[in-house]
Amino acid sequence: MNVKPLIFALLVVLFTFSCKTEVSNKAACGDGILDPGEQCDLDVFTIQNCAQLNYYEQNGEIVCNPDCTMDLSVCAYQCGDGLVQADHEEECDGATMPETTCAQIDLGGGTLSCTDTCRYDVSQCEAAVVCGDNQIQAPFEQCEGDDLAGETCISQGYYGGTLACDATDCRFDTTPCETFGSCGDSEIQGVYEDCEGVDLNNSTCIDQGWFSGDLQCSASCEYDFGTCQNVAAISAANIHSCILLTDGTVRCWGDNQGSQLGFPGPDDSSTPVELAGLSGVTVISAGFFHSCAVLSDGTGRCWGAGTGGQLGNGTSDVTATPVVVSGLANIRSISAGYWQTCAVLDDDTAWCWGFNGYGQLGDGTIEQRLTPVSVSGLSGVLEIGTGRYHSCALLVNGGVKCWGYNESGQLGDGVVDHGNDCNS
């Protein structure tokens, strides 16, 4: 018997049955069966009315869309739509709040918030707080019974004592602390405080070891030295002296024939006098009858006698007011001499001006210069100093150059003479 046709027919039947089974098990919108991911299918729904979705009103029947989603257009108003439905006992809705403070609903201080059920959250309202319930409810309560939330008299700003809790309002009772004092009680507590407000305990910047300034009292009742000044640099000349303070101002004292103290002469001063109109000073130098300074912007200022042109402003006038040294910028240091002045720039070059009768300006001439001229043949200058009729420079390589009058051998070149060129 040939069994091949029988086996083939059996396979066809099995294949056909398996295909039909697969098709019948496949989910399809519109088959009247509620499958996963479907809100509805024909007349089968996941819900029966709008109330099940927390809507307050329903105007008609919910229908099923062709894509098996529900048409909820007949549902209206719910908590979370941003509209306060007072008819449905809503007090608020999210950020929509007719009242925002506890006081507006007669619950004292505090801030309201809105719950997920569209009712006011009054847990942060003062009137909702009950002192004595063993719960510290900030910010209206600081403590509860013996629970001081880790606070002490010292943490409250006092210098000692035992902190207590007031049983009537659950606020700190600082009465036991007050006998130990605190900063701000208008009394200087000698062990703990330097001062109190404007009461500096008869102290000043000077008796606290500073040169000058206005002593202040800090918020912690300690001395504030922020406006006290110390001396940053000093320069003593022939018959007057000048100092530079840490705040960038200058004080001078001594002889004032040339107004070199910064006020019209000839009256002298035996105590330091602040130079008016000069601030931001980084270098100070006192000369014979004049004084000079370098400012933080790299410019130079000179004042006093300008008879030899030593002020560098193009005149030979006498002035008590600092004048700008003409034509120089990026000045690093300055030295005021007898009738001349010299400066070193950031590029390590040297410049001089003023009386030049002995070649002390170093420009190869003996001509007076009312404005700065470059010292000829000199570079790599680190520092410069000026004497009566001569000048010297320290070089970056450690060498020294001097020029000008040499009658006493002050140029250090082994010769007693005078010249206007730089000598070793």
Give the DSSP H/E element, type plus range, for residue 176: helix 175-178
pLDDT band at 14 (very low <50, low <70, confident <90, very high): very low
The span from the CA of 346 to the CA of 300, in Å, is 13
pLDDT of residue 86: 86
Q: Is the pLDDT of residue 300 over 60?
A: yes
Q: Judge contact between 302 and 291, C-beta under 8 A.
A: yes
% of the chain beyond a pLDDT of 90: 72
Q: Judge contact between 212 and 205, C-beta under 8 A.
A: yes
Three-state SS letters, 137-161: CCCCCCCECCECCCCCCCCCCECCC
Q: Judge contact between 64 and 76, C-beta under 8 A.
A: no
Q: Is the pLDDT of residue 112 over 90?
A: no
pLDDT of residue 107: 73
Which class for 240: exposed (0-12), middle (13-18), buried (19 or more C-beta within 10 A)? buried
pLDDT tens digit sequence for 232-246: 999 999 999 999 999
pLDDT of residue 26: 57
Alpha-carbon 51 to chain mean position: 58
pLDDT tens digit sequence for 272-289: 999 999 999 999 999 999
Task: State the CATH architecture for 230-423.
Answer: 7 Propeller (2.130)
- CATH 2.130.10.30-classified regions of the chain: 230-423
